[in-house]
Structure 1
Amino acid sequence: MRRYLVLAGAAALAAGLLGLGLRGLEAVAQAALPPELNNAYIRDLAQKARAEGGVINSYGMPNDWANYGGIFGEFQRLFGIRQQDIDMGSAVVLARMREEKAGKNDVADLKPAFAMTLAEEGLTLPYRVTSWAALPEGQKGVGKDGSTWYAGYKGTLGWIVNTRLVKKVPRTWKDLENPEYKGLIQYMDPRATGTGVATIMSAAYALTGDPYNYKAGVDFFARLHRLGVIGAVEPKVTTAKFERGEVGIFINYDYNLLAWKERFPFPTEVVIPEDGSLANGGGIVAARNAPHPNTARLFLEFVFSKYGQGLFAQAFVTPIRPDVELPKEVAAKFPPKSAYAKVRFVDYKREEAVSEALQKYYGETIR
């Protein structure tokens, strides 16, 4: 989309500014800071962050997820700090941060239930952003030794349909059982991604009214596999098969679906299933032993400021802060409000309680 090209150009400009030297870069960055970030605390934190090497290491924050390309591009433009990401799903982020004792990455995106787990194990940075009070209850928390976790944004599970390939657009989860969709459905692997877990739970909610009845959700997807309608199960986000026309129905969050709809050169439709779906937050944490701790703190301040939250809002991603709204031109491209009538927000604690059993049952049932 056009805004991504603008941000990419801005990021390249910021990289060029590195040649001005530290003082010149600081002057340019401070002059460009939005008013709410242009204060003594943020300027001092930015100076400390740049002294750490001008890089931020992230897990699970690829450019094509939740507008992270735009967000990190703007972070680089303002502060001269570039991102290095290793794309991985939530389950892998959790495992890696445990294995590494939260000492290799600075920040990460993973499902809030796993973000809570990391905080409870004392593996996240003990840092409360200055906008802490503006974040809704239940979307932030404190764990062991002051470790904090956050939900940074939210979205709803649905699917995007290539209407050139799929003539009868599925409107409900049950509609996906149509044999006409042979090899056309793609979804995220629940053993590796939080999106995959939410997909199983959303189907369970639509079928039984109970999203935590994970066996019903897994059994439903097992039927889809037996019917031959599943064409791809992916451990990380990729639209390659959808863009090549190898699959025609891609299950994911509405913010990604709507951004992809803008980008794809062929006709598509975004569907929120009429028989029910789940809304979920996107967890953001900083690592307890981050190699660039001030850089991690600066990113948290940036992404939870109204300005940072507004960057989510520009790309169909609903900010977690209630005082930041989607721009009217963005909101107008969403499915109608009536499409969200049967959407339920997930309970992070209950999701966490069933996730491991869900993944185990999935692995035993779908091979």
Structure 2
Amino acid sequence: MTSASLIVSIAMANAAQAADMDALVAAAKKEGTLTTIALPHSWCNYGEMIEGFKAKYGIEVNELNPDAGSGDEIEAIKANKGNTGPQAPDVIDVGLSFGPSSKAEGLVQPYKVATWDEIPDSAKDAEGYWYGDYYGVMSIMVNKDLITEMPKDWSDLLKPEFASAVALAGDPRASNQAISGVFAAGLSAAGGDAAKAGEAGLDFFKKLNEAGNFVPVIAKSASFAQGTTPVLMAWDYNALAWRDSLNGNPPAEIILPETGVVAGVYVQAISAYAPHPNAAKLWMEYLYSDEGQLTWLKGYCHPIRFNAMAKAGKIPQDLLDKLPPAEGYAKAVFPTLDEQKAYKEEITTKWDSVVGASVQ
């Protein structure tokens, strides 16, 4: 192929892609609404993401249960299979392990975004049923007004000075964030052995509960500020965003533990029963565009296209400067899908019998 014919071929492909996008926008606008679920505005900067999508395309966003966990999102699809009303989610944002399971259960449908090739193969389903959107690491957020000694590792949280202080940012029977917190503590206790980390994590929380240090409340920025949950386990992007929103009242410190540094990838998928399938596809295109990926980065979430965008010089230096030091993430462990499936099942099914603390 000559250079001239190559240019013509590329131009034709670009024109076809633009035409496809125009058709998708028109179809989505005709539907008029997108129904999301489990997207707190402070989580990964979703508030700005939702407003940006609405402003760009003029499509309303119906937001269901912002504080729901990954398991709740899956149940919402199951419960609304025949329902095209406002309680049926079009799209979900769930922990990595929920991607393959939702595909296996026939709960999601395939769709490949325009930037598909820049999503690492290890973070996507080859057929397009689900794909990674962003990742972060499990951290410890501490209210410095109430806690004077900063913990350096998970084991420190068992000390008497953390009485009635430690909480998870979710219910470990349903929330991927909370499950990952239990696994991280267990990975530390098990000396890095992922196969034993689920059991070790449950044992850690049993000890934490028996010591009177565990607070069975779903931790949020409000409970943190009020002093109900002065020490909480959350993804670093949530903790950093909460710290910023508090403006030093109270002062907060975000700590990456010395061991058991667990990285978590979340994935996007479209419900197989989406009442607004075209709006759902357009939402995916927006999330995985340069604009959407940078919106996540503003919320301290590493977008899945981060490496490709950085290589292309598409990430503003001011955003790079706001990220925590890279060396703090060097120890991060990315559990495999098989490991996640194993510890998720162990933690969710044995939490009540082993720990015996109902988190609400």
The 2-side partners of 1:250 and 1:330 are apart by: 26
Shift of 1:70: 0.9
The 2-side partners of 1:331 and 1:269 are apart by: 20
Aligned-partner residue type, residue 27 of structure 2: K
Residue 148 (structure 2) aligns with: 167
The 2-side partners of 1:102 and 1:313 are apart by: 36
The match for 1:210 among 172, 186, 193 is 193
The 1-side partners of 2:328 and 2:110 are apart by: 39
Residue 121 (structure 1) aligns with: 105
Task: List, as ranges, runs of 4+ consecutive aligned residues in structure 1 with deviation greater than 4 Å.
Answer: none
Residue 302 (structure 1) aligns with: 286
The match for 1:340 among 325, 329, 338 is 329
| Pairing 1:240–2:222 present | yes
| Pairing 1:199–2:178 present | no
Q: Which stretches in structure 2 are left out of the alignment for 5+ residues?
A: 1-13
Q: How many residues align?
A: 326
The match for 1:176 among 157, 165, 183 is 157
The 2-side partners of 1:348 and 1:309 are apart by: 24
What TM-score comes out, normalization by structure 1 length? 0.84
Residue 324 (structure 1) aligns with: 309
Give a deviation string over 1:34-84, Cα, whole Å, max 9, x none.
x99x933222211110101x2211121221211111111100110011222
Give a deviation string over 1:330-349, Cα, whole Å, max 9, x none.
44344433322322112123
| Pairing 1:89–2:69 present | yes
Q: Considering only aligned residues, what root-mean-square deviation do their CA atoms show, in Å?
A: 2.1
8 Å Cα contact 1:102/1:124 also seen in 2: no
Higher relative contact order (CA 8 A, sep 6+): 2
The 2-side partners of 1:298 and 1:317 are apart by: 21
The 1-side partners of 2:82 and 2:72 are apart by: 13
Sort the Cα spacing of 1:72 and 1:180 in 2 relative to 1 into closer, same or farther, 3 A: same
Residue 354 (structure 1) aligns with: 343
Shift of 1:328: 3.6
Residue 223 (structure 1) aligns with: 207
Shift of 1:273: 0.4
What TM-score comes out, normalization by structure 2 length? 0.85
Sort the Cα spacing of 1:354 and 1:181 in 2 relative to 1 into closer, same or farther, 3 A: closer
Give a deviation string over 1:270-298, Cα, whole Å, max 9, x none.
10001231101111111112100000010
The match for 2:132 among 151, 168, 178 is 151
SS of equivalent to 1:344 = coil
Residue 41 (structure 1) aligns with: 20
The 1-side partners of 2:103 and 2:226 are apart by: 40
Give a deviation string over 1:8-46, Cα, whole Å, max 9, x none.
xxxxxxxxxxxxxxxxxxxxxxxxxxx99x933222211
Q: Which stretches in structure 1 are left out of the alignment for 5+ residues?
A: 1-34
The 2-side partners of 1:362 and 1:161 are apart by: 24
Sort the Cα spacing of 1:270 and 1:99 in 2 relative to 1 into closer, same or farther, 3 A: same
Q: How much identity, in percent, do the aligned residues show?
A: 29
The match for 1:71 among 46, 49, 52 is 49
The match for 1:134 among 111, 118, 125 is 118
The 2-side partners of 1:212 and 1:238 are apart by: 30
8 Å Cα contact 1:232/1:247 also seen in 2: no
8 Å Cα contact 1:212/1:351 also seen in 2: no
